[in-house]
Copies of this chain bind each other. A is one copy, B any other.
């Protein structure tokens, strides 16, 4: 059946950036989400489910402020107050932690999964409804906590079969701290920040040389981006002032804590990158799969209301592109008059059954790979209409567990 679900959509049917997920992708995405949520749960992260809509004050405070322009707003006819459709779940989890779960002992480990909506897509990410799942580890400020959350992201993506995962750690506070230490303000600071943002090494070098130390370290740190060991060595070697030194030492601690958990993980570190991590107060990280699958998730340290926290978001739509497709289960046609017990046994054994509702129903046209006839499974592949061969194809009538079969 899968092959018949071709996309012949009229693009005018749905607003830009909003789309239908069809078979088999919708089921695969849901399975990926629940498999990753199960990994979070196994590490003690407990699920919360905030509503899709809430008052905009709640959504747009704290880490949510950065998404104000991206949040759909609507008037609540009941309260006559403005509501927002969430563009991110983190501010909602922060609200829950600070109110209903205020008295629960810290560290508080929470997880969530659901949809977020955005007013406009970007050229790289045109979607306006994005599935998202993640965790928040609230009330603890340590490298161990950062490493637990980052490792959890790697474990969750690995659990759904995504190979070759890598993590890129950035220190969004480093460049501002160096510019602070250099006393750089006004237009000169903006120019240097923009050059860093563009990764324009020549321009950074030129502007930093004008300012002198410690801004001048930006040049070396920009060049040090790459495998974590080299970048950490560059950070150790630089005679950093106190603020940037603390940030560098923390990065080394997080990398060490992550290595203890996942010795084989590929870790890169970009000490002066800060793009896209607007509200992070410590390390931030991005998770990548192999090749061109793009970002699979991101996270880092931030303030959850008044509390120190580390969070992680994974993107199931990206995971869907990166994960190997599962084998399609056998789809067994049940003709009129079939044995319901045998059919139930097949379903218990993981097969899909499709019951005939009229004599016109055709097994192959309905995408079936097998047919149940008198308690025996027949394979329908190709033109062959003979019973599938092999010891696996014993009659299933009345069997408590259906036998396996050659597929």
* A-to-B contact residues, CB < 8 Å: 1, 4-10, 13-24, 26-27, 29-30, 34, 37, 41-44, 46-55, 58, 72-74, 76-79, 81, 83, 85, 92, 95-96, 99-105, 107, 109-110, 112-115, 117, 119-120, 128-129, 140, 142, 144-145, 148, 261, 331, 340, 347, 351-355, 357-358, 361-362, 365-367
- For A23, the chain B residues whose CB sits under 8 A away are 46-48, 110
Residue of B nearest to A113 (CB): B30
- For A92, the chain B residues whose CB sits under 8 A away are 20
Which of B15, B37, B107 is A30 in contact with, Cβ under 8 Å?
Answer: B37
> Can you list 23 A-B contacts with CB-CB less than 8 angstroms, sorted by A residue number?
A4-B105, A8-B100, A13-B99, A14-B54, A20-B50, A22-B48, A22-B96, A24-B46, A26-B47, A26-B48, A27-B41, A27-B46, A30-B47, A30-B49, A42-B351, A43-B355, A44-B353, A52-B117, A74-B74, A105-B367, A115-B115, A140-B358, A145-B357
6 A-B pairs with least C-beta separation: A23-B46, A44-B354, A21-B49, A26-B49, A18-B51, A27-B47
Distance (whole angstroms) from the CB of A344 to the closest CB of chain B:
9
In Å, the complex CA distance between A102 and B8 comes to 9
Q: B1 to A104, Cβ gap below 8 A?
A: yes
Q: A55 to B15, Cβ gap below 8 A?
A: yes
- For A5, the chain B residues whose CB sits under 8 A away are 46, 100-101, 104
Distance (whole angstroms) from the CB of A236 to the closest CB of chain B:
25
**Known contacts A37-B30, A43-B347; is-contact A52 B365 (Cβ 8 Å):** no
Residue of B nearest to A116 (CB): B52
In Å, the complex CA distance between A77 and B113 comes to 27
Interface centre among A17, A21, A100 (most CB of B within 10 A): A100
In Å, the complex CA distance between A264 and B71 comes to 51
Residue of B nearest to A340 (CB): B261
- For A58, the chain B residues whose CB sits under 8 A away are 13-14
Residue of B nearest to A2 (CB): B46
- For A37, the chain B residues whose CB sits under 8 A away are 27, 30
In Å, the complex CA distance between A81 and B16 comes to 11
- For A144, the chain B residues whose CB sits under 8 A away are 357-358
- For A43, the chain B residues whose CB sits under 8 A away are 347, 352-355
In Å, the complex CA distance between A401 and B72 comes to 48
Which of B10, B73, B112, B366 is A99 in contact with, Cβ under 8 Å?
Answer: B10
Distance (whole angstroms) from the CB of A234 to the closest CB of chain B:
29
